[in-house]
Amino acid sequence: MSETRTITLAGGCFWGTEKLFSLVRGVTNTQVGYANGPAEGPVTYEQVCAGSGHAEAVRVDYDPQVVSLATLVDLFFDTIDPFAVNRQGNDRGVQYRSGIYVQDQGDLAEVAALVAALEQRLGASPVATEVAPLRNFHPAEDHHQDYLDKNPLGYCHLGPAAFAKAKAI
């Protein structure tokens, strides 16, 4: 097995995004939390909802020998509106912005190229999805982890087709 890589994705409510990526073959772990806000140290859901500046996000650990960064980013873009500013679906606010946060410069360059290709393919720009180095990630409270596994009828902004696509990867 190769070395595990990590990408952090903010795509609206983190419950559905976590479930989606947990279904992808090659993803070894997911964890919901709060990313790229100004505060260090523990951050709570209440603080994020009150405007802390963090994004609801999912840390995705994956085996690059099984699934590529490009495949994960493509799936992510298939499940969000990359042109929406501070919202996804019914979820509105800076905490629901879309973002792709990486831990090394090589990944940053690859993601930037994927965004440019998306803009060219769609004939529209600029994509509102924030692409940046991961500055910080604070794990969310336990009751948010694996939320849709614990609450199968819980709120989710993603539909069945998205989950079917993730399972097929």
Cis peptide before 160 (omega within 30 of 0): no
State which H helix or E strand residue 119 sits in: helix 105-122
13 annotated active-site: yes
Give per-residue burial for 47-62: e unless 16+ CB within 10 Å, then b: bbeeebebbbbbbbeb
Q: Which of 13, 43, 102, 162 is catalytic?
A: 13
Q: How many CB atoms lie within 10 A of CB 32?
A: 22
Sign of the Cα pseudo-torsion (26, 30, 34, 37, in order): negative
Give the residue numbers annotated as catalytic, written as ranges.
13
